[in-house]
Chain A
Amino acid sequence: MQGTLELLILNTLARESMHGYGIVQRIHEAAEDLLKVEDGSLYPALYRMEERGWIKSEWGVSENNRRAKFYKLTRTGQKQLEAQRANWNRISKAVARILQAT
């Protein structure tokens, strides 16, 4: 569904800053493999979100002492997350009502 990947990324980064691999792992764990994200597809989404100012990145050192890029949410990203979360709740409620009614 459109916008879902961005919402998942924003939600994951709301807890802590993470590198791309960490974000995908966290999404897989949280979704208990009900949703599958092709790992590579995450990166263009991350770059676009950074371009929009929702997240920002900086190079750091990973848990295995390797150079890695870490992403964190900006204030604009936090607002975006709240807006997208509210929208998602509204849409899912609406769809549930329609399914129940028919």
Chain B
Amino acid sequence: MKSAIFNLLSRVNGNKISLDVEDELQFHVEMLERKYMQEGMRAADAQAAALRRFGNFQRVKKQCVEITRRSTLLRRFLKTSLILLGIAGLLISIGSSDYKVDRIGHVLIMIAITGRLLVYVRGLSPFTYLAGVKATSITDTSKNSSNLRKA
């Protein structure tokens, strides 16, 4: 039952991601069409020119959806892990009479709380932090930087 609800929610969420990405890309194509029509092109020509200039719409959409899904999944995993860590810490702290074990519980709670704060504050996710550390390098992991070409 739980997994069925989870699957349903994932599908709804997945569809929303896909629709949002499509809407965003479609907006771009529409703006291009508008521009070409203002420059004097006929509607059909403007549409063709817009799609040509945009590139492979479906491929771009797929890439964007994948990145969003990956990001969402990682974030969910991270949040769940931190919650579990916090609960584990709490249980250890409450259940243990040994001071040393009790301290481990407190450390786990602190890690969980700090982690959750970092996830909540935008721009301070662990991934961002790692990216910031590597800020001195100009290397781009983008597969599409080759699309930047000299005219």
Interface size class of B (residues with CB under 8 A): 35 or more
The CA-CA distance from A64 to B37 in the complex, in Å, is: 15
A-contact bits for B132-145, CB 8 A (1 contact / 0 none): 10011111111111
Does B76 have its Cβ within 8 Å of any Cβ on chain A? no
A-B contacts, CB under 8 A, total: 152
Does B3 have its Cβ within 8 Å of any Cβ on chain A? no
In the bound complex, residues from chain B placing their C-beta under 8 Å from that of A76 are 123-124, 128, 131-132
Number of interface residues of A (CB under 8 A): 48
Tell me if A's interface is mostly helix, strand, loop or mixed.
helix
Check A48–B127 contact: CB distance below 8 A: no
**Residue A48 contacts which of B57, B135, B139, B141 (CB distance < 8 angstroms)?**
B141
- State whether A53 and B122 are in contact (beta carbons under 8 Å apart), knowing that A7-B138, A40-B57 are contacts in the complex: yes
Q: Nearest chain-B residue to A66 (Cβ)?
A: B27
Check A45–B142 contact: CB distance below 8 A: yes
Check B144–A39 contact: CB distance below 8 A: no
- State whether A43 and B141 are in contact (beta carbons under 8 Å apart), knowing that A51-B71, A51-B127, A76-B123 are contacts in the complex: no
Does B100 have its Cβ within 8 Å of any Cβ on chain A? no
Report A14 CB to chain B, min CB distance, Å: 15
- State whether A52 and B68 are in contact (beta carbons under 8 Å apart), knowing that A1-B148, A91-B138 are contacts in the complex: no
The contact sample of 5 A-B pairs, CB cut-off 8 A, is A3-B138, A5-B140, A36-B151, A41-B55, A47-B68
Q: Which residues of A contact B (CB under 8 A)?
A: 1-7, 19-21, 24, 33-41, 43-45, 47-48, 50-54, 56, 62, 64, 66-69, 74-77, 79-80, 83-84, 87-88, 91
Among all A-B residue pairs, the 9 with the closest Cβ atoms? A53-B128, A40-B55, A3-B140, A41-B147, A83-B135, A40-B60, A74-B123, A41-B144, A47-B67
Q: Which residues of B contact A (CB under 8 A)?
A: 20-21, 23-25, 27-28, 30-32, 34, 53-57, 59-60, 63-64, 67-68, 70-71, 122-125, 127-128, 131-132, 135-145, 147-151
Given contacts A41-B55, A53-B127, A68-B24, 6 further A-B contacts (CB under 8 A): A5-B142, A20-B27, A44-B60, A51-B127, A69-B20, A87-B138
